């Protein structure tokens, strides 16, 4: 059987995001006039780039750090309709999201999204079963037959058989239902690569610092290449800055939306505020259950769901008024999650069980009208001035709809007929042929000399692009070794992250292409030492740069750890801010990374807070 991937990408463009592609993108950004320029490389922005490119438009995307480095790598990773939105009678939102769930599972990215069985424990007899039962019947009906199995009712002993960890003192029975889960950071990066395959021009580490105007009209943006040596303002001449011309600009900057709006001036109809959500990771053996568990917490709903050899628990939901780039989890956030999870499981978890922690910021819409709370989980699109569209709010699951709506809005300002969105029929890279490869995993294991488990893991991460990794290992057998300290991953994956997936720093590889930063007890410190030379080889780093990347990563882990011991947001933010992404530090660049790690928040560029 031949598992070679197609030699050309679906749209004829290059799907490889690497240093050469980035250099070429920067060259083109300075020379061409694009139909659409997108600000922000989260799932919304990357979705917009894909939507526009597949409608035949020329599109460029600018991301100030790494793809998915904002909220899109820090979500709850559920592709769901949101059972609780049914309680709020928001049927349209649930139906739309469940349709997206079904599309992703079946057509768009079956390699990246998988069904997850949930158990909903019932405390009360009678009414609670009727109430929840009616909700899941509706949920199943809206979800479309067959995408995931249907719900089932369980007795108390049936519930305990499925999830022995459930405390028996407050359990009267349970109902199981299905949702889906995604590796968000990998998914966003794959959307970006797919957009590139269809001809989109993408650049990470490209920060939008201003807008071009002709009269009132927005005609492009000013961009700073934050990897260029001395890229910040030096004297009166901005170094590493260029202008990018566009017929339409779309602001898809998530929690930074208002900051971008301020560059244009004036207030739009809605603003975006940040709400912090924290997740913790514990080893799989700490909770005995064959299903994910829905937990009714003090004031919201938490989920305990499987994540590889771990459980992921979360989330919190509190206003965040500090650094948008480095949201910090506090000791109190962690204790809140442990306290609420321990209400339903036994044996209880303690802080000693926590392997990893991550925090993200929800971009919640607030308007200047009564509809504010209704807006909060929906998305909104507006065009505050000619040439500019703003899209904000929403959730990960509905990114494709958000992208479609944003491009529809921008298209109205283009002087041409634009075809309707077709992303419903555009599988992401790696989706094509994936089910056949999964069925042939035994043969792939035999041919490659890797275990079946390893092949499965690779298929879940790369789909049919697995052949890129296997070919790399055939050429360089030493890269077939597991990463010391993060053995779920191979060294070849680190190399590939730099050559094909747009990673520019060690942190990008360990945190988003892999997840060593929250899946290992030492938060990826040992892995950093073994991965850095491999990434360095791919990106042409010298020994000094390799050492600086490792040192930066170590100090970042240290700062995160320190913040997680503190009780409140203000002190946790101060501790976390001590080590910032070098791409965000004024006067710093890749070339001066080492200095960046030693600088404190006092030298950073001011960043607007959402309040």
Give me the 208-247 binding string for ligand FAD, x by CB under 6 A, dash otherwise: x---------------------------------------
Helix extents (H) in 302-357 = 331-341
Q: Given the complex with ligand FAD, which of 42 and 536 has the nearer CB atom?
A: 42
What is the phi/psi pair of residue 357, to 5°? -145, 140
In the list 240, 394, 480, 502, the residue contacting ligand FAD (rule: CB under 6 A) is 394
Q: If binding is defined by CB under 6 A, does position 101 make contact with ligand FAD?
A: no
Q: What is the dihedral of CA 145, 376, 318, 315, to 10 degrees?
A: 10
In the list 76, 110, 356, 387, the residue contacting ligand FAD (rule: CB under 6 A) is 76
Name residues contacting ligand FAD, limited to 145-164 (CB under 6 A). Answer: none
Q: What is the dihedral of CA 541, 543, 549, 554, to 10 degrees?
A: 160
Closest approach of ligand FAD to the CB of residue 224, in Å: 9
Q: What residues have CB less than 8 Å from 69, skipping those under 6 apart? A: 41, 63, 508, 512, 581
Q: If binding is defined by CB under 6 A, does position 588 make contact with ligand FAD?
A: no
Q: If binding is defined by CB under 6 A, does position 78 make contact with ligand FAD?
A: yes
Whether the upstream peptide bond of residue 315 has omega within 30° of 0, thus cis, is yes
Quick one: which segment of 336-344, 345-353, 391-399, 557-565 binds ligand FAD (CB under 6 A)? 391-399
269 token code pair? 């109809």
Q: If binding is defined by CB under 6 A, does position 395 make contact with ligand FAD?
A: yes
Closest approach of ligand FAD to the CB of residue 297, in Å: 14
Give me the 26-55 binding string for ligand FAD, x by CB under 6 A, dash otherwise: -------------xxxxxxx----------
By CB under 6 A, the count of residues binding ligand FAD is: 39
The number of helix segments (H) and strand segments (E) in the chain equals: 22, 22
Quick one: which segment of 63-71, 381-389, 418-426, 444-452 binds ligand FAD (CB under 6 A)? 63-71
| C-alpha–C-alpha distance, residues 579 and 593, integer Å | 11
Q: If binding is defined by CB under 6 A, does position 362 make contact with ligand FAD?
A: yes
Give me the 158-197 binding string for ligand FAD, x by CB under 6 A, dash otherwise: ----------------------------------------
39 token code pair? 């600000």
Whether the upstream peptide bond of residue 347 has omega within 30° of 0, thus cis, is yes
In the list 51, 63, 378, 569, the residue contacting ligand FAD (rule: CB under 6 A) is 63
Name residues contacting ligand FAD, limited to 275-334 (CB under 6 A). Answer: 277, 315
Q: Give the chain's radius of gyration (CA, Å).
A: 23
Q: Given the complex with ligand FAD, which of 66 and 574 has the nearer CB atom?
A: 66
HEC string of 82-147 equals: CHHHHHCCCHHHHHHHHHHHHHHHHHHCCCCEEEEEEEEEECCCCHHHHHHHHHHHHHHHHHCCCC
User: Which residues of the shown chain bind ligand FAD in the complex (CB under 6 A)?
Assistant: 39-45, 62-65, 69-72, 74-78, 80, 207-208, 252-256, 260, 277, 315, 360-363, 394-397
């Amino acid at each position: 059987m031949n598992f070679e991937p197609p030699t050309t990408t679906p749209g004829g463009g290059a799907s490889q995001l690497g240093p050469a592609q980035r250099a070429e993108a920067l060259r083109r950004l300075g020379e061409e006039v694009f139909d659409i320029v997108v600000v922000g490389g989260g799932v919304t922005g990357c979705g917009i780039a894909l939507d526009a490119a597949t409608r035949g438009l020329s599109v460029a995307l600018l991301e100030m750090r790494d793809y998915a480095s904002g909220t899109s790598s820090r979500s709850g990773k559920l592709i769901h309709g949101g059972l609780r939105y049914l309680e709020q009678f928001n049927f349209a939102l649930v139906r739309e999201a469940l349709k997206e769930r079904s599309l992703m599972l079946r057509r768009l990215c079956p390699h990246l999204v998988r069904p997850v069985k949930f158990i909903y424990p019932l405390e009360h007899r009678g009414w609670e079963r009727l109430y929840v039962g009616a909700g899941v019947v509706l949920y199943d009906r809206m979800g479309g037959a067959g995408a995931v199995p249907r719900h089932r009712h369980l007795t108390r002993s049936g519930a305990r058989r499925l999830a022995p960890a459930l405390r028996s003192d407050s359990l009267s029975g349970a109902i199981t239902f299905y949702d889906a889960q995604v590796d968000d950071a990998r998914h966003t990066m794959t959307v970006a690569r797919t957009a590139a395959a269809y001809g989109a021009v993408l650049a990470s580490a490209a920060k939008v610092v201003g807008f071009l105007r002709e009269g009132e009209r927005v005609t492009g943006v000013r961009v700073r290449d934050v990897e260029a040596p001395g890229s910040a303002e030096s004297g009166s001449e901005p170094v590493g800055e260029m202008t990018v011309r566009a017929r339409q600009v779309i602001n898809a900057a998530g929690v930074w939306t208002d900051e971008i709006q301020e560059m244009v001036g004036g207030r739009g109809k809605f603003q975006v505020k940040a709400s912090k959500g924290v997740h913790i990771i514990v080893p799989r053996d700490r909770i005995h259950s064959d299903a994910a568990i829905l937990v009714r917490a003090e004031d919201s709903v938490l989920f305990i769901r499987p994540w590889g050899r771990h459980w992921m628990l979360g989330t919190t939901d509190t206003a965040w008024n500090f650094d948008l780039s480095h949201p910090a989890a506090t000791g109190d956030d962690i204790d809140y999650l442990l306290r609420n999870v321990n209400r339903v499981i036994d044996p209880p978890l303690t802080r000693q069980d926590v392997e990893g922690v991550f925090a993200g910021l929800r971009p919640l819409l607030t308007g200047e009208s009564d509809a504010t709370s209704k807006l909060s989980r929906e998305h909104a699109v507006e065009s505050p001035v000619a040439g500019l569209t703003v899209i904000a709010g929403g959730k990960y699951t509905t990114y494709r709809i958000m992208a479609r709506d944003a491009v529809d809005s921008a298209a109205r300002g283009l002087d041409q007929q634009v075809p309707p969105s077709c992303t419903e029929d555009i599988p992401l890279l790696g989706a094509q042929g994936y089910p056949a490869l999964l069925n042939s995993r035994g043969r792939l294991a035999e041919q490659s000399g890797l275990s079946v488990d390893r092949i499965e893991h690779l298929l879940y991460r790369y789909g049919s692009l697995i052949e890129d990794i296997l070919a790399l290992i055939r050429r360089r057998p030493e890269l077939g070794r597991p990463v010391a300290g993060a053995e779920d991953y191979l060294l070849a994956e680190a190399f590939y992250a730099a050559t094909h997936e747009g990673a520019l720093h060690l942190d990008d590889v360990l945190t988003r292409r892999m997840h060593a930063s929250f899946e290992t007890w030492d938060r990826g410190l040992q892995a950093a030492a073994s991965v850095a030379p491999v990434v360095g080889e791919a990106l042409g780093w010298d020994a000094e740069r390799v050492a600086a990347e490792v040192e930066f990563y170590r100090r970042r882990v240290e700062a995160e750890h320190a913040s997680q011991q503190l009780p409140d947001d203000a002190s946790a933010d101060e501790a976390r801010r001590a080590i910032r992404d070098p791409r965000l530090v004024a006067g710093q660049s890749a070339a001066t990374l080492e200095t960046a790690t030693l600088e404190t928040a006092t030298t950073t560029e001011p960043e607007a807070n959402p309040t």
